[in-house]
Amino acid sequence: MFISKELLLACALEFDVKLSDDAVMKFDTYARELVDYNEKVNLTAITDPDEIVIKHFADSLAFIKYSGIEAGNSFVDVGTGAGFPGVPVLIAADGVKVTLFDAVNKKLEFIRSLVSSLGLDADIVHIRAEEAGKMPEYREKFDFVTARAVAQLRILSEFCIPLVKVGGSFVSMKGSISEEEKVNGIAAFSKLGSELYDDIIYNIHNGDERNIIIAKKISHVSSKYPRNMGQISKKPL
């Protein structure tokens, strides 16, 4: 094994996720392929096996606990990068329909090859979230939309909330968030037919703090959103 099975099982249990032997083997393959591919294309600064387990895999599994996602739900990970949190959720949560978006195709080449070597099934789409949010096949189609470490909350909200079904949730995952970013983000929720549902601070296995903010979608988003990237960054909501 490349990663420590004991560490992975313990970290997953901290988020109430019980991993099968098959899932453990898949995480081991994931870590090996991530470190290999990272020699060619920069996907992550974290390459130590224990750190991959704690900072990437377990933190991604926190999504399962705090979002309450269950079999039959659809889910898109916006800006999946090296697959976080989308691929750990795909491995560990049975029966969830997983879509992975990223604006950079080189990263998705890694994800396509990984998902195929794990024998799993996901929609892997080279697209910017704010373009997907205008397309009928993606707009207001997902039960859950998440993004980890992608952009400031008010910008991220405009990328992500147009993709959420009415009644669904947007789940923002970050290392930490300032009070100002939070207040601006919550103001953006209301312009996008949504309201704050939960604000969770939790710790990963090494004691580092992480933040999840959840918005519930209560009504349709105005057709003027999402705007294009230039407008979003020039005048964030």
67 contributes a contact to ligand SAM by CB under 6 A: no
227 binds ligand SAM (CB under 6 A): no
What sign results for the dihedral spanned by CA atoms 151, 153, 155, 161? positive
CB of 81 to ligand SAM, least distance (A): 2
- Does 144 help bind ligand SAM (rule: CB under 6 A)? no
Residue 54: CB atoms within 10 Å = 22
Q: Does 135 bind ligand SAM (CB under 6 A)?
A: no
Q: Is 103 in the site for ligand SAM (CB under 6 A)?
A: yes
Q: Are 146 and 173 in contact (CB under 8 A)?
A: yes
The β-bridge relationship of strands 123-126 and 97-102 is parallel
Q: Which is nearer to ligand SAM, 24 or 125 (CB)?
A: 125
- 196-232 as b/e: b if 16+ CB within 10 A: eeeeeeeebeeeeebbbbbbbbeeebeeebbbebeeb
To ligand SAM, the closest distance from the beta carbon of 21 in angstroms equals 26
- Say whether residue 80 binds ligand SAM (CB under 6 A): yes
Q: Is 104 in the site for ligand SAM (CB under 6 A)?
A: yes
**CA 130/CA 116 separation, integer angstroms:** 27
Among 34, 78, 96, 115, binds ligand SAM (CB under 6 A): 78
Binding site for ligand SAM (CB under 6 A): 78-82, 84, 101-104, 107, 128-130, 148-150, 159
